[in-house]
Structure 1
Amino acid sequence: MKVSERTVRRFVRNLRQNDPSDATTPVPKAREVTTVVLTHPDYRTEDNRVTLKELRDRCTDLDTACDLVARFAEMLVNLRGEEKLAVWVTDAENSTHPELRGFAAGLRKDWDAVMTGLSLHWNSGPVEGHVNRVKMLKRQMYGRAKPDLLRKRVLLYR
């Protein structure tokens, strides 16, 4: 039996119209997925939780990436680098994600600094704030920031 292309198209269209399971949901954008994955679990909305669960169920690679990201975030927030960083880096290097493998390789290059940053409570945040303030003052002065004038401006600015 010979069938025309038009007949096949009509048949498939009827199947799609009658099959409720074929209702395609819109694919979320990469930025939306990234936001949901990187948001702290306590701050995710119910819609975001459902979306993330559906995405993780559909894609095992995303599931693995989410686990690695969550484990690293936990180390970062709770400063548990000494206990967990070596295992995490090994898992990231063995993952299928080239971005995570590259990140893990970068951590290995400066291991001592990374370990210190993920295990000690000391940080350079206050210093970075002062440097940012001085740079802002220099920008406001449009290149007229000679050392003596800049010194006065930094000391008088609050």
Structure 2
Amino acid sequence: MAQEVFPGRFTAAPERSDITVFLIGMRANRWWKLGRVWRTASQMAPMIRHLMEHPEAGLLGAHSWFGRTTLLLSYWESPEHLQRFAADRDAPHLAAWREFMRTSMGSGDVGIWHETYQVPIVDIETVYGDMPAFGLAAATTRVPVTKGRNTARQRLGR
């Protein structure tokens, strides 16, 4: 499905004081063990679907890339929202995590990783040129680059 491209230069203008950036992924260490790799990889789609159906969970937006190493970039309202989702017995993460720990952790077949960053908005600089809605601008608010926001230094407020 093609995404609409917005010609010109844009930046993100979040109306919040900070944002939580969460990176998560997996790596097929032994790609030929397709059963284990697929079991792990297939757990993400139900989680994203659940989060899109439950905006109160705090996910603001996400993008993913697939390959031997996968990556999901996501933006959250707060670390507390992310932690609540991870521990919620009614959400799809906890059961998938427990299953991975029981069946795959320590085998070396599939690697998993994540990183969480709490980022003050004052220290964010973004620019998107001739792009579909993407990244922080898709998760919050996308605005045209205008006078006073033309350079990275100006967008950082320096």
TM-score range, shorter chain: under 0.3
TM-score relative to the length of structure 1: 0.25
Q: Which has the higher contact order (CA 8 A, sep 6+)?
A: 2
TM-score relative to the length of structure 2: 0.25
Rg larger in structure: 1
- Please identify which structure carries the higher strand content: 2
